[in-house]
Amino acid sequence: MPVAIFDMDGVLYRGSTVLPGAKETLERLRHAGWQVFFATNNSTATRAEYVERLGRLGLGGDAEHIVTSAYATAHYLERLDPKPRDVYVVGANGLREEIRATGITVREPSSLPGVEPPGGAAADGVDPGAMRRYLTGVSLPPPADTVVVGLDLHVTYAKLAEAQRCVLAGALLVCSNRDRAYPVEGRLLPGAGSIVAAIEVATGRTAICIGKPEPFLFEEVLRRAGERNAVVIGDSTDYDMVAAHRVGARGVLILTGLTDEGAVERARGEAVPDRVIGSLRELFALPELAGT
Ligand SMILES: [Mg+2]
């Protein structure tokens, strides 16, 4: 059965507001036998939290049909040979939990060298020398064999230092996504990509990226679906459309989300959508969904 992969924010809902036609669209697809999946670059929440969120919004879906970049990252690591044995995460607990669920050991945040700077060293900008002396004085565990980076709203200099130390000692560097920004209520915050970039600069290495626009997130969906005939519905040319084309799927761009003015005209190569719709109500008029 064909697969529909929905980006969530900006396509099905915006914040806590369900977009027009979202519920009906999903119901109609499921009723017609489509495999309906949800895919997000967000690495901070677990799939269980998304099941809860989708349920609260009346959109349905279960954990089997939700693939987050945290989940896809965990399963990417699980399939590596040799499999990572000691993972250090700069990111949220959702990311740690998904990796642990595959049986891979992930360090506790409390084990971070430099997790508890003394008051004088911790005070912002007051005494950088004290922080330097503290960080060079802490005892260090053997470096982790893998460093995984996702969005971390509590990122610190000590966390960057530990990531740098492990990568320079040979750890594999993987990131859940490179999103530039994290859109929240009424403003933008820095996205995971800003933290990834800091660690890449500090190490001179390039992270393997799992989330969109790279193919691994959607590959995980297609692997679960057991089917490669897929349509991606997303609101970003640079992320959703590129990733769709990298797994051989058709890309439908919807203009209800963050799609900025002129994005379609500016799009080149893999970023060019196969179809553009103004709202979900137009989806069923597309030839890809004929007869649905
Ligand atoms: Mg989106």
pLDDT band at residue 290 using 50, 70 and 90 as cut-offs: confident
Distance 75 CA to ligand 1 centre (A): 22
Give the integer Cα–Cα distance in Å for 70 and 149.
Answer: 10
Give the integer Cα–Cα distance in Å for 6 and 250.
Answer: 12
For ion ligand 1, residues whose CB falls within 5 Å: 7, 9-10, 235, 257
| 142 burial via Cβ count (<10 Å: 0-12, 13-18, 19+) | exposed
Q: Is the pLDDT of residue 16 over 90?
A: no
Greatest C-alpha distance within the chain: 68
Distance 236 CA to ligand 1 centre (A): 6
Burial pattern 265-279, b for ≥16 Cβ within 10 A else e, equals eebeeebbbbbbbee
pLDDT, one tens digit per residue, over 181-234 is 988 777 889 999 999 999 999 999 999 999 999 999 999 999 999 999 999 999
- Does residue 146 sit in helix, strand or coil? strand
Contact 145, 84 (CB under 8 A): yes
pLDDT band at residue 121 using 50, 70 and 90 as cut-offs: confident
Contact 177, 159 (CB under 8 A): no
Q: Is the pLDDT of residue 176 over 70?
A: yes
Q: What is the mean pLDDT of residues 114-139?
A: 87
pLDDT band at residue 258 using 50, 70 and 90 as cut-offs: low
Give the integer Cα–Cα distance in Å for 219 and 231.
Answer: 13
pLDDT > 90: percent of the chain: 84
Distance 60 CA to ligand 1 centre (A): 18
Half-sphere exposure of residue 230: CA atoms within 13 angstroms, side-chain side: 32
- In which residue are the tokens 């179809």 written? 275
What pLDDT sits at residue 259?
74
What pLDDT sits at residue 123?
80
Give the integer Cα–Cα distance in Å for 9 and 19.
Answer: 10
Distance 277 CA to ligand 1 centre (A): 14
Q: Is the pLDDT of residue 75 over 90?
A: yes
Distance 79 CA to ligand 1 centre (A): 28
Give the gyration radius of the chain's Cα atoms.
20
- Does residue 77 sit in helix, strand or coil? helix
- Residue 141 CB contacts under 8 Å (≥ 6 apart), including other chains: 111, 113
More confident position, 116 or 161: 161
Instruction: Tell me the helix, strand and coil percentages in the chain, rounded to 5.
Output: 40, 20, 40
Give the integer Cα–Cα distance in Å for 50 and 60.
Answer: 10
pLDDT band at residue 96 using 50, 70 and 90 as cut-offs: very high
Give the integer Cα–Cα distance in Å for 7 and 40.
Answer: 6
81 catalytic per annotation: no
More confident position, 14 or 198: 198
What pLDDT sits at residue 208?
98
What pLDDT sits at residue 111?
94
9 catalytic per annotation: yes
Distance 158 CA to ligand 1 centre (A): 32
What value does the mean pLDDT of the chain take? 94
Q: What pTM was computed for the model?
A: 0.92
- Residue 252 CB contacts under 8 Å (≥ 6 apart), including other chains: 231, 232, 233, 234, 273, 274, 275, 276, 277, 283, 286, 288
Contact 70, 93 (CB under 8 A): no
Half-sphere exposure of residue 104: CA atoms within 13 angstroms, side-chain side: 30
pLDDT band at residue 171 using 50, 70 and 90 as cut-offs: very high
Q: Is the pLDDT of residue 257 over 70?
A: no
Give the integer Cα–Cα distance in Å for 100 and 92.
Answer: 13
What pLDDT sits at residue 127?
86
Q: Is the pLDDT of residue 67 over 90?
A: yes
How many angstroms from the chain centroid is the CA of residue 47? 12
